[in-house]
Structure 1
Amino acid sequence: MSAVVASDFPYESFHVDEYYLSLAKEGDQRATEWLLDRYRPRVETWARRYFFRGAEAEDVIQEGMIGLYKAIRDFRRDRSVHFRAFADLCIHRQIESAVKTFRRKKHGPLNSATSIYTTIGERGESMLLDMLVDQRCPNPEREALARLFEDELNALVQSLSDLEREVLGYYVLAWPYAEIAKALGRSTKCVDNAIQRVMKKVRRIGA
């Protein structure tokens, strides 16, 4: 099959992702391939934020592409979330899952993986910060997070538990508590408690 290019489709516009997503949902393989090709550089950026001792860079990229494919498959337009932010979340979660599997299968620290996700990334911006910037809906908690400087945000992310980090990832995407709970297989009370713990850490860091 020949490469898919934008000119193969009727138009490019602000809503181009939604257009191709709608085609992909209808089973248009070329639209799916177009989206995979369009977002591959973003996957590669994510892959560079991870270092595997004993794994090839292409392996990390492949995991990221799996996450991107899942984002295309699972994206729902009825949520007030941009596809780019949702794709970031799916790519990150897929690579994180691969990291955990890799740790279990290999032995100990020599075959561990380090995520640059916790060090704010190459240009001083992390996924968390990107999503905060993308979310323009007024919310005191999100505004408090957005006001943190890079070093403070780094300290916050490093202080979070796995659950707190997962909950926060959905929270900054403006998912309702019930939806977060469903996605993580937790109770809404558990989600609320996790958010409260995060915000307590935000207040402590920002004090």
Structure 2
Amino acid sequence: MIMEDSALNIYLDEIGKGALLSDEEERQLSERIRQGDDRALAKLVEANLRFVVTVARQYKGRGVAMEDLVSEGNIGLMKAAARFDASKGVRFVNFAVVHVRQQIEKAIEQQAGLYQVPRDVKDEVVARQQSMPLSVDAPLGHRANMSLLSVLVNQDAPLADERVHSEAVEAAIEFALGSLDQRESRVVNAFFGIGQEHETMAEIAEDMDLKRERVRQIRDKAVRKLRKAYHRRLKELHKQ
């Protein structure tokens, strides 16, 4: 779900209250950071949060929600702040932009790798899903063609997936879901809308009292675990 303009404006208002740093202030903060001063690190990061939003906007429409682009960019900003050395004569934003972009682009690549499904396989999945429980094939929020089943489909062997019966697929999915621990199940059920309304990453993070980045890590780990368990069980069912 793309961050609404109003929500983004509120965020910009919150982070825009601080003044921009001068060269000398950056130099002093850099020295303190290298001495292990966490407050200096936080100050350098907070003073440049608006810069992250500017960079994140350039990646809008690439398959990752604006709020997640900003979150990823902030992670890159923190990495840059921890490594920044002002004595080399470079302004912080010029040094940080590489780290911010790398973090955002990494998130986009991971998202594409986890969820992109070949069109012919997706069509077959949609056709097969008509006889399956709603909780299994419920679409993922505003991504109308996204479902847990389409995420689990083997992208490298579509023909094999096209031959399976819906009963075997359903059984394999149930088996895979049973492999998750309680926290992984909570995130997956909320993110994919299984047995409940779909929730955004921000909503899940708030409900679980976790940072969005931590929720994303749990989600990605759970999806990898689901895929492994799903294909293992599907292979076993084919042998029966």
TM-score by length of structure 2 reads: 0.38
Structure ID, larger Rg = 2
